[in-house]
Amino acid sequence: MNAPDNSRIVYLDYAATTPIDAAVLEEMTGCLRESASYGNPSAIHIAGRRARWKIDAAREDLARLLGCSARCLVFTSGATEADNLAIIGAARFRAHRGRHIVTVSTEHKAVLEACAALAKEGWDVTRIDPDTDGLVSPEALADALRPDTQLVSIMHVNNETGVLQDIARLGRLCRERDVLFHVDAAQSVGKLPIDVGDWPVDLLSLTAHKFHGPQGVGALYIADRAGCGVVPLLHGGSQERRLRPGTPALALIAGLGAAARIASGRMASDLVHVRRLHDRLLGGLAGLEGIRRNGSVTSNYPGIVNISAAGVEGESLMLALEPVCVSSGSACNSQSGEPSFVLKALGRTDREAQAAIRFSFGRDTHADDVDFALRRYVAAVTRLRALAPGQAA
């Protein structure tokens, strides 16, 4: 296989992964270079204590970003592991009370597959379908809850559409019924204000690489309250309260802490920036006929915009957009060739789903990048429609 062309690219796939911040990289390389960081954090000698101090400092930085106590955070390899630990671990923790779980059909595969694994163990899983805007109504959730329901899992920001759920309102329904509430916040931590101290949330998953940290590290928040807990999926030493044993990845955890610290100071300005880019993109598409926004236009994270174009075929459109890097769906499912199950759940046809493009941008995206992508997109849609007239969705 030949290496990809190294010419200029325009990266608009921030929902898949974000560029690592220079200050985060410096924090990580310092851990790899400094002799003071060579020690195993589990060791009691001075090198071990210094390494453990760095991990504790990172945990404190993340705790400040989330508005929680540092003792409520468990480091993982990313959001997928955090989702699995939350869902499977909490289900097993509460199995003696009942075996019913509620989730949403538009969740990330890390949530849906974890629920599917529990179904094979005898759990009953209810999947709520959102409305055509991708929103889950409190009424739909209330109707799905049963006396034996033990866990509800609903994501904060959808990774394909950017739809923003009303987590506080949905969480109150769960708290009133003593049902554990898990939130996959991979797309919102570091980008939108989150205060788990004010939210009725019991478990929250995140990953560093969605907000300018390194790939390969994440965390799970576990509320410190009666009836909330998880059974570990891995077994070994006493690290991470025995919930995630193994020698901690010091440099990665330090990078996560640095990303959290930077996000705490930049979140407000970053959000204003992506809102401007969001409006610039949609304004540039206003004159193109047959364009449909997928997901809510009123309740969304502006850094993700999902658009379907009538009369074009998705794979051809993706190729025609290069060197613009965008996605036709979630990163974990982008090579399957199947229409997005998220867009299908919103009522889109196969053709509409296959013609969808997800634009996502962030801190390092420039207005020129959006303008370049707009020119490529409009030209590509126009040309593909001319080559295959009458193919409107």
pLDDT one-digit tens code per residue, 152-202: 999 999 999 999 999 999 999 999 999 999 999 999 999 999 999 999 999
Query: In this predicted model, what pLDDT tens digit does every residue of 111-143 receive, in sequence order?
Result: 999 999 999 999 999 999 999 999 999 999 999
67 SS3 class: coil
The mean pLDDT of 231-260, rounded to a whole number, is 95
User: What ranges do the domains of the chain cover?
Assistant: 10-18+267-387, 22-262
pLDDT at residue number 336 = 55
Mean pLDDT of the chain: 93
Query: Strands of 73-76's sheet, edge to edge?
Result: 73-76, 218-222, 203-207, 180-184, 149-153, 100-104, 124-128
β-pair partners for 151 = 101, 180
- Residue, of 315 and 102, whose pLDDT is higher: 102
**Is 50 exceeded by the pLDDT of residue 331?**
no
pLDDT of residue 25: 97
Q: What percentage of the chain exceeds 70 in pLDDT? A: 94
Structure tokens at 170: 């949905």
Domain 10-18+267-387 has CATH 3.40.50.300: no
Active-site annotation holds for 228: no
Q: Which of 273, 301, 257 is CA-nearest to residue 65? A: 257
Give yes or no for a cis peptide into 41 (omega within 30° of 0): no
Token output for 390: 């009458």
Helix (H), strand (E) at residue 360: strand 356-360
- For CA atoms 67, 70, 73, 75, the dihedral sign is positive
Say what the pLDDT of residue 272 is. 98
Class of domain 22-262: alpha beta
What is the Cα–Cα distance from 219 to 200, expressed in whole angstroms? Answer: 18
Q: Which are the contacts of 176, defined by CB distance < 8 A and separation ≥ 6?
A: none
Place of tokens 């229409």: 339
Query: What angle in degrees, to the nearest 10, is found between the helix axes of 250-285 and 367-387?
Result: 60
| pLDDT greater than 90 at residue 29 | yes
154-169 burial string, b = 16+ CB within 10 Å, else e? bbbbbbbbbbbbebee
Q: Give the whole-angstrom CA distance, residue 151 versus residue 106.
A: 17
Choice among 115, 228, 325, 332 that is catalytic: 332
Please say whether the beta carbons of 75 and 217 come within 8 A.
yes
- Collapsing DSSP states into helix, strand and coil, what is residue 244? coil
**67 vs 198: CA distance, rounded Å:** 8
- pLDDT of res. 33: 84
At residue 113, φ and ψ (nearest 5 deg) are -75, -30
| pLDDT at residue 34 tops 90 | no
- What does DSSP say about strands 218-222 and 291-293: parallel, antiparallel, or unpaired? unpaired
Q: Residue 393's pLDDT is what?
A: 43
Give pLDDT, residue 315.
83
The most confident of the ranges 238-247, 263-272, 339-348 is: 263-272
Query: How many Å separate Cα 265 from the centre of its chain?
Result: 21
Q: Token pair for residue 329?
A: 């769906």
pLDDT tens-digit readout, 336-390: 567 899 999 999 999 899 899 999 999 999 999 999 999 999 999 999 999 876 5
Tell me what pLDDT residue 255 has.
98
Q: Is the pLDDT of residue 61 over 60?
A: yes
Residue 35 predicted with pLDDT over 70: no
Nearest to 115 by CA among 76, 78, 145, 86: 86
Question: CB of 230 within 8 A of CB of 85?
Answer: yes
